[in-house]
Every structure is written in structure tokens, then in C-alpha cells.
Amino acid sequence: MSGTRPCRRVVLAAGAAGFAGGAVALTAGCSKYGDEGADPAPPPKSQPTSAAPSESDGKKQPPPKGDELARTSDIPVGGGKIFKDEKVVVTQPEKGDFKAFSAVCTHSGCLVGEVAGGTINCPCHGSKYNVADASVAGGPAPRPLPPQNITVTGNSITLA
């Protein structure tokens, strides 16, 4: 080092990176040695730590697994309901028997559009899937809709 002594803040703060409490104490020590008038470093601000999905950015996020997808009463017997955000279709082929499948058509990837007449129907090219097992009932779809895991607890259906 040449004749000037490095500011303690520079030397010690580098060693204390990541230790915010230590950085504050060291800053005060530096201003003691003739740095009056210089603004001490502001106290570290806490960073927002929320990584939870938010609708404030305009994108609707699917609920995390474990959140309620639907009430059992939302799903008609012999039919089903499509959850576009989750890309899931839930059916109830028989009373109290709930199934869930991907809502992405196996033909070219459109989202299925309705559940009617005992089938899950794709609006793009007319594929149809049976509500009981999502097997292909018609159209160009090459294979069934893949099953999805759900949990039915009381009257609540959740993605598993």
C-alpha cells in the first residue's frame, strides 16, 4: 500500500459481504476517521421475499398443488368441467366417481372446449374423448387424454 490508508469500510465490508449487521457497524467506524459529511451507507433494506404467484402482473397463475380446484357439486354427473388455467378436465362418470385428465388434446395440442353428450370435445378438429376414461371416441386424436391426479376430500377436489 502507498501512504494512504484504505477506508475501513472498503476493506472490511468486502469481507463482510452477506453479513448485513456487520456492514452497518463497519460503516459507522469509517465515518469516525474523517469522513464527516459523507453519507453513511443506508441500513440494508429488506428485500421482498415473496415468490408466491401474483395476479398483479396480469397473468393468472394456476393454483399451487393442494389448493382446491373445485367443489364436487361443480362437476355434473355423466359430464365434467374444464379448468382452462390448470389445463385439467374433471369428470364424474358415475355419482361420486371423479376422474381428471389433461385438457390438452392429443391431436395437435388445443385445449378441449366442452364436455357434452358423454364426451370431452376438442373444438379444433373434432376429437372426442369418453368422460369415463378419456379414451378416444372420435376424431383425429391418436391417443387418450393423459390422466391427472386429484384428491377428493369431502366436497373438495384438489390437484394432487
Interface positions with ligand FES (CB under 6 A): 105, 107-110, 122, 124-127, 139-141
In the complex, least distance from residue 108 CB atom to ligand FES, rounded to whole angstroms: 4
Cell numbers at 30, concatenated: 469509517
Residue (119 or 127) nearer to ligand FES, CB: 127
What is the full DSSP assignment across 46-76? PPP------STTSPPPPPPTTSEEEEGGGS-
In the complex, least distance from residue 134 CB atom to ligand FES, rounded to whole angstroms: 13
Q: Which residues contact 56 (CB under 8 A, 6 or more apart)?
A: none
Q: Give phi and psi for 103, each to the nearest 5.
A: -95, 10
In the complex, least distance from residue 105 CB atom to ligand FES, rounded to whole angstroms: 3
Residue (87 or 107) nearer to ligand FES, CB: 107
Residue (71 or 125) nearer to ligand FES, CB: 125
